[in-house]
Amino acid sequence: MHLGSGIRYYTTITACNTVDLCTSVTSDGVIIDKSPPTQGIVLDGVDLHDLEYQSLRNYISAKWYGFTDPQSGIDRFVWRVGTKPGSDDIVKSTHLPRSDVLVEPDLLHKLPTGQRIYVTIKAYNKAGLSTEANSNGFFIDDTPPLIKVKPYLSTYLGSIKDNSVVFRGTIQMHWEVEDKESFIQRQYLSIASHKGGEFNTSSTELNGIVREYTFSQLDLHDGGNYTVKLIVCNGAKICVEAESKGILIDSSTPTPARYSIMLL
């Protein structure tokens, strides 16, 4: 018999007694499937984009798509985790229901640092054949970014005296930060009033390589004292913040002194 793949075949049994009265019964059919499922794609994490860094060491997540089987369909998934593609030295093979998301919030063993970690998903069809795919891996970084120098007022733009500026509409700030593990991913700068009235700006988002920024088109008050807050986040989404010293706004000229001479 040469049975075709993907075709449902039925078996019919007919029973006849000695007076040639017969009854037939047909099975619900069986599909011939000689091919494994189509290989899918595995992404680290469950966010929109593939995860590259993570801070939690007892948590792992992944999602996948593209595992299909037009003949017999997907029956189940199995997942494992290791420090090499396809290995299981972190998590041994574990069964999953038919899903496209893996979330394990309480691992028995902590994920290692300094090594790329790979998630492997293995898909089985209903004929028992399987195929698997690996994620491209991610690193653990559980340390915050390092703020080497807090935000400080630039002396190159309207600053004659330390921590003071003669412009009401422009402030230029500098700072120094680094993260050797997962690098600086994003930064936020905002101005708040320290003394001299209510003033708060919405945060300005900057990319991770910027180390200076100029606020413009401000409306600061003469005599007001302002601070600049910096929030720095690394690739593992760990954030730290720092605040500058008070910045005095003084755009007015000195008041001329008055004196009189008495002639005797």
179-227 pLDDT tens trace: 999 999 999 999 988 665 556 677 899 999 999 999 988 888 888 889 9
- The pLDDT of 34-49, averaged and rounded, is 94
242: pLDDT strictly greater than 60: yes
pLDDT computed for residue 193 by the predictor? 81
12-16, 36-40, 133-137, 159-163: range with lowest mean pLDDT: 159-163
Radius of gyration of the chain (CA): 34
149: pLDDT strictly greater than 70: yes
Alpha carbons within 13 angstroms on the beta-carbon side of residue 202 total: 1
pLDDT computed for residue 264 by the predictor? 59
CATH of 146-249, one of 1.10.1060.10, 1.10.240.10, 6.10.140.120, 2.60.40.10: 2.60.40.10
- The pLDDT of 70-99, averaged and rounded, is 93
237: pLDDT strictly greater than 90: yes
- The pLDDT of 85-108, averaged and rounded, is 92
pLDDT computed for residue 154 by the predictor? 86
Which of the pair, 253 or 208, is modelled with greater confidence? 208
Structure tokens given for 65: 């798509």
Q: Where are the domains of the chain?
A: 41-140, 146-249
Which of the pair, 221 or 61, is modelled with greater confidence? 61
CATH of 41-140, one of 3.40.50.970, 3.30.420.40, 2.60.40.10, 3.40.50.2300: 2.60.40.10
Structure tokens given for 212: 């200076």
131: pLDDT strictly greater than 90: yes
- The pLDDT of 246-254, averaged and rounded, is 75
11: pLDDT strictly greater than 60: yes
The rounded distance, in Å, linking the Cα atoms of 212 and 205 is 12
2-11, 38-47, 96-105, 228-237: range with lowest mean pLDDT: 2-11
Amino acid in position 133: A
- The pLDDT of 104-128, averaged and rounded, is 94
The rounded distance, in Å, linking the Cα atoms of 208 and 188 is 10
pLDDT computed for residue 185 by the predictor? 95
Domains 41-140 and 146-249 share a fold: yes
